[in-house]
Amino acid sequence: MISNTTASYGRVSRFFHWSIALLVLADIALGLIGKFTPRSGDTVGFLQLLYSAHKTIGMTVLALAMLRVIWAISQQRPVPLHPERRLETFAAETAHWVLYAAIFVLPLSGWVIHSAEVGFAPIWWPFPQSLPFIPKSERLAGAAANVHWIAGIVLAAMVAAHIGGAVKHALIDRDGTLARMWNGRAAGKAATHPGKGASVFAAIGIWTFAIGGALTVFAPAHIVEGASHLPAQQTEGWVVQEGSLSFTITQMGAEVTGGFANWQADIDYDEVTGTGTVKTVIDTTSLTLGSVTDQAKGPEFFDVAVHDTAVFQGDIVQIDGPTHRASGSLTLVGQRVPVTLDFDLEVTGGTATVFGGTGLDRRDFGMGAAYPDESSVGFSVEVQIELVATKTE
Ligand code: HEM
Ligand code: HEM
């Protein structure tokens, strides 16, 4: 039978129950494997595949969950087999409502993480990548990740209790509860259905406590916006007041931008001759690159544990008007490579504005040797620098 009766689950309800149950259990397993896999250059490819599978399965759950609710609204609910056991019936029904909510809360919070963070594992076709109106923000991604984690705990605990209940019905009570969900056999007297008010209320209470807690008392203190401000720095001829040093790479076909929060520029520049020198020391441990920051800092790429600074040193010449070029070398992960940086420099009333960039090839520095082609990480790295400096007297 396609539809439910008051004593049995029809084919459609059973299809939704078991397909979603299987996908949810698979996704809990994938999520946990992902959480406990160490982040390094060696595991980044595996993690990308794992999280793409995790997200796509989760999105499938969300799509099925929407159809399931529409279907359930149109259906009768089979009555509990032992309505006289009021506490047990209440607990079972509460678990059902909590589980119904979980198949929305988990995928939606996961989708918010994915939309708010930069880069990493894409959701596969046919699902869209981003929820509308969700900005790219580390703080938001962090808060959503915490909701996702706490919701995952609620879900896992409820599934454990739910499976425990099903097993108890099958082995101890030896009634038809499991059989009617498994093969659609009818069980139970089509009579009374206890009111659902109390169990719905209890389920709402559990979720309010879990999500409210995830956003407040259980929120990790380290959820902070990625620091990108540069403190005023003392240089010989010029003091850098503000600026940013960022770079863009292509990861799995999508552009990902990261940057360094901490760097120092020593600039000597003579406005009359249009010449000077620049030395920039970059604290590579201050690197952020969206959700792949840890991998980027790892031994395969920036290897910050061994090489915590990178240095660009060069001579500045004026090419034409504001157009300048700094020719020199960049020392990164112990490799010194010749680099030219083209930039526009405008000086007005003792304030200099610099805007420029250069293109690098990660292979020149031996970075990402485990990624010999461009399918995961592109070869070219576009570096952008912007700064405002004032002249010291
Ligand atoms: C039924 C659906 C889902 C379940 C049961 C589930 C469960 C989990 C679990 C148990 C974890 C590991 C714990 C953690 O790190 O928080 C996790 C992590 C994660 N999930 Fe899901 N998830 C689901 C759907 C989704 C969806 C649809 C997305 C994105 C579109 C997603 C994105 C993520 C991400 C990005 C992480 C890593 C979080 C972090 O590193 O903090 N999940 N998920
Ligand atoms: C392998 C594990 C599972 C077993 C053995 C199992 C067993 C059952 C059984 C026997 C029922 C019928 C209860 C009754 O008629 O009173 C049921 C209902 C239900 N189960 Fe599961 N279940 C499992 C996993 C899950 C998972 C992972 C979820 C959700 C994430 C879930 C959600 C539900 C819901 C919402 C109901 C209420 C009936 C409905 O409206 O579809 N179950 N389950």
- Give 166-197 pLDDT, tens digit per residue: 999 999 999 999 999 999 999 887 666 667 88
Q: Are residues 300 and 350 in the same domain?
A: yes
Q: Are residues 19 and 151 in the same domain?
A: yes
Backbone φ, ψ for residue 227 (5° rounding):
-70, 125
Task: Read off the pLDDT of each residue in 99-107 and give the average, rounded to a whole number.
Answer: 98
Asked, for residue 6, whether it belongs to a domain, the answer is no
224 Cα to the center of ligand 2, angstroms: 39
Q: What is the per-residue pLDDT for 226? A: 35
Q: What is the per-residue pLDDT for 191? A: 62
162 Cα to the center of ligand 2, angstroms: 7
Hey, whose CA ends up nearest to atom 42 of ligand 1?
110
* The last residue of a domain, from among 184, 215, 246: 215
Asked, for residue 159, whether it belongs to a domain, the answer is yes
Task: Read off the pLDDT of each residue in 15-20 and give the average, rounded to a whole number.
Answer: 98
Number of separate domains in the chain:
2
Task: Read off the pLDDT of each residue in 327-331 and give the average, rounded to a whole number.
Answer: 89
Q: Is residue 341 predicted with pLDDT exceeding 60?
A: yes
354 lines ligand 1 (CB under 6 A): no
Distance CA 211, CA 155 (A): 12
Question: What percent of the chain is predicted at pLDDT more than 70?
Answer: 93
Q: Is residue 307 predicted with pLDDT exceeding 90?
A: no
Which of 5, 22, 82, 162 for a ligand 2 pocket mutation test, highest count of atoms within 8 Å of Cβ?
A: 162
Q: What is the per-residue pLDDT for 326? A: 92
Q: What is the per-residue pLDDT for 266? A: 79
At 229, the pLDDT band (50, 70, 90 cuts) reads very low
The minimum-distance atom of ligand 2 relative to the CA of 103 is 30
Asked, for residue 229, whether it belongs to a domain, the answer is no
Hey, whose CA ends up nearest to atom 31 of ligand 1?
110
100-104, 110-114, 364-368: least confidently modelled range: 364-368
Q: What is the per-residue pLDDT for 40? A: 67
The boundaries of the domain holding residue 365 are: 238-391
3-state secondary structure the chain: CCCCCCCCCCHHHHHHHHHHHHHHHHHHHHHHHHHHCCCCCCCHHHHHHHHHHHHHHHHHHHHHHHHHHHHHHCCCCCCCCCCCCHHHHHHHHHHHHHHHHHHHHHHHHHHHHHHHCCCCCCCCCCCCCCCCCCCCCHHHHHHHHHHHHHHHHHHHHHHHHHHHHHHHHHHHHCCCHHHHHHCCCCCCCCCCCCCCHHHHHHHHHHHHHHHHHHHCCCCCCCCCCCCCCCCCECCCCEEEEEEEEEEEEEECCEEEEEEECCEEEEEEEECCCCEEEEEEEEEHHHEEECECHHHHHCCCCCCCCCCCEEEEEEEEEEEECCEEEEEEEEEECCEEEEEEEEEEEEEECCEEEEEEEEEEEHHHHCCCCCCCCCCCECCEEEEEEEEEEEECC
* The last residue of a domain, from among 160, 184, 215: 215
Specify the higher pLDDT residue, 252 or 158: 158
Q: What is the per-residue pLDDT for 393? A: 60
61 lines ligand 2 (CB under 6 A): no
Q: Are residues 289 and 328 in the same domain?
A: yes
Hey, whose CA ends up nearest to atom 14 of ligand 2?
177
Q: Are residues 182 and 244 in the same domain?
A: no
Q: Are residues 197 and 317 in the same domain?
A: no
106 lines ligand 1 (CB under 6 A): yes
Q: Tokens in use for 370?
A: 């485990």
Q: In this structure, what CATH number is given to the domain that contains residue 306? A: 2.40.128.110
Distance CA 65, CA 62 (A): 5
Q: Is residue 357 predicted with pLDDT exceeding 70?
A: yes
Task: Looking at the CA of 71, name the nearest ligand.
Answer: 2
Q: What is the per-residue pLDDT for 278? A: 87
113 Cα to the center of ligand 1, angstroms: 9
Could you report the per-residue pLDDT of 313-326, keeping only the tens digit for each? 899 999 888 999 99
* Interaxial angle between packed helices 197-215 and 86-116, expressed in degrees from 0 to 180 and rounded to the nearest 10: 40
Hey, whose CA ends up nearest to atom 43 of ligand 1?
31
Mean pLDDT, the chain, integer: 87
Could you report the per-residue pLDDT of 46-82, keeping only the tens digit for each? 888 999 999 999 999 999 999 999 999 999 999 999 8
Specify the higher pLDDT residue, 40 or 267: 267
Which of 6, 17, 64, 155 for a ligand 2 pocket mutation test, highest count of atoms within 8 Å of Cβ?
A: 17
110 lines ligand 1 (CB under 6 A): yes
Q: What is the per-residue pLDDT for 223? A: 42
* Interaxial angle between packed helices 138-168 and 197-215, expressed in degrees from 0 to 180 and rounded to the nearest 10: 140
Q: Are residues 267 and 173 in the same domain?
A: no
Query: CA 379, 384, 386: angle at the middle one, nearest 5?
Result: 170
184 Cα to the center of ligand 1, angstroms: 32
Q: Are 153 and 218 in contact (CB under 8 A)?
A: no
Q: Tokens in use for 86?
A: 């009021």
Could you report the per-residue pLDDT of 74-85, keeping only the tens digit for each? 999 999 998 889
Distance CA 134, CA 45 (A): 27
Q: Are residues 208 and 246 in the same domain?
A: no
Q: Are residues 286 and 377 in the same domain?
A: yes
Question: What percent of the chain is predicted at pLDDT more than 90?
Answer: 49
Long-range contacts of 193-199 (CB under 8 A, 24+ apart): 193/6, 193/77, 193/79, 193/80, 193/83, 194/80, 194/83, 194/86, 194/89, 194/90, 194/93, 196/93, 196/97, 198/90, 199/90, 199/93, 199/94, 199/96, 199/97
Q: Is residue 233 predicted with pLDDT exceeding 60?
A: no
Task: Read off the pLDDT of each residue in 216-243 and give the average, rounded to a whole number.
Answer: 56
Task: Read off the pLDDT of each residue in 302-306 and give the average, rounded to a whole number.
Answer: 88
Task: Looking at the CA of 160, name the nearest ligand.
Answer: 2
Q: In this structure, what CATH number is given to the domain that contains residue 131? A: 1.20.950
Hey, whose CA ends up nearest to atom 20 of ligand 1?
110
Task: Looking at the CA of 165, name the nearest ligand.
Answer: 2
Q: Are residues 52 and 201 in the same domain?
A: yes
